[in-house]
């Protein structure tokens, strides 16, 4: 799909005035948006974003569904403690605690970037809680890590680039989108708002370093567990909306999703990048709404 509609941009496109609720965890408070009533749609962001990534989707769905968007610990409006296990296993445990706290059932899980691994880590453990899936440029299995991301992993260089210069978050504002005119100053400020200081960026760097590349990392074994468990979910409805110009989660990942979930409904947008909801939200939301209706 390549048709492109004009986005109004400006302040309205960057509005994120939803109230957040607090879930105390051991060592941190996780904050989340919980808007509307009905069947739950649980939206999980990745790195270096936060609930702001889903701001328009919350608005689009809260009239018909319960739209829930947590900020992982260390991200967005959640606490950013100095001493914390910012790992895939811990983020998945936090998500499971949130699901139990809210007593969520028949969940539609929406995932992007690291949200895929975090969300599917819980889904393969407790598949009875999940009804359907919406996949946006993410993975729940191993894949190639681009050089420009690997460069942010070494101790000194990573600290300087990611935490000192906020380079990971800032670079994404241009590298992760195709239609850069949509990244207005207000939108850019929205993405950067939770990561103003060196201390605020510890989880951003931790996510990069936790990318599983070696069996010496615990996250490597978590991904193995997810890969093994994905077959338990094959019968569930899945909608895949994919940005075809994503330098990180490229078409090799899309093909792996297709292989593992051959019945998934797939829409590839050849003029969208990693931040697919910035490049193509006005084309994606009708697809999501129809998917929710058709699979009711």
Chain center to CA of 287 = 18
Task: Find tokens 């910035």 and name the residue.
Answer: 278
The answer to whether residues 48 and 61 touch, using CB atoms and an 8 Å cutoff, is no
The answer to whether residues 111 and 134 touch, using CB atoms and an 8 Å cutoff, is yes
Q: Sheet harboring 20-25: ordered strands across?
A: 20-25, 28-35, 66-70, 40-44, 107-113, 130-138, 238-243, 265-269
Q: What is the CA radius of gyration of the chain?
A: 18
**Structure token pair of residue 2:** 């390549």
Residues acting as catalytic residues: 113, 246, 274
H helices within 12-139, ranges in order?
Answer: 55-61, 88-102, 114-125
3-state secondary structure of 202: helix
The per-residue b/e assignment along 81-106, b for 16 or more CB within 10 angstroms, e otherwise, is beebebbbbbbbbbbbbbbeebebee
């Amino acid at each position: 799909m390549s048709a492109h509609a004009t986005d109004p941009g400006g302040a309205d496109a960057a509005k994120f005035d939803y109230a957040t609720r607090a879930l105390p965890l051991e060592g941190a408070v996780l904050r989340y948006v919980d808007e509307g009533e009905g069947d739950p749609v649980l939206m999980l962001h990745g790195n270096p974003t936060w609930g702001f990534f889903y701001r328009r989707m919350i608005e689009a769905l809260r009239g018909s569904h319960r739209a829930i968007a947590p900020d992982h610990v260390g991200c967005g409006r959640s606490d950013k403690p100095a001493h914390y296990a910012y790992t895939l296993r811990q983020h998945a445990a936090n998500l499971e605690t949130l699901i139990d706290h809210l007593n969520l059932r028949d969940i539609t899980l929406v995932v992007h970037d690291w949200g895929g691994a975090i969300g599917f880590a819980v889904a393969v453990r407790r598949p009875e809680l999940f009804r359907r899936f919406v996949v946006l440029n993410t993975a729940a299995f191993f894949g190639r890590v681009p050089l420009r991301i690997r460069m942010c992993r070494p101790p000194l260089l990573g600290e300087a680039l990611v935490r000192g210069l906020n380079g990971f978050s800032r670079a994404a504002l241009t590298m992760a989108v195709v239609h850069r005119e949509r990244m207005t100053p207000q939108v850019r400020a929205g993405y950067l708002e939770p990561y103003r200081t060196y201390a605020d960026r510890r989880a951003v760097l931790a996510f990069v370093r936790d990318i599983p590349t070696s069996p010496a990392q615990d996250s490597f074994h978590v991904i193995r567990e997810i890969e093994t468990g994905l077959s338990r979910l094959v019968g569930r409805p899945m909608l895949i909306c994919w940005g075809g110009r994503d330098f990180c989660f490229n078409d090799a990942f899309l093909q792996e999703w297709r292989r593992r979930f051959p019945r998934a409904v797939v829409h590839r947008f050849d003029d969208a990048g990693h931040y697919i909801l910035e490049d193509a939200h006005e084309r994606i939301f009708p697809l999501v709404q129809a998917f929710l209706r058709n699979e009711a």
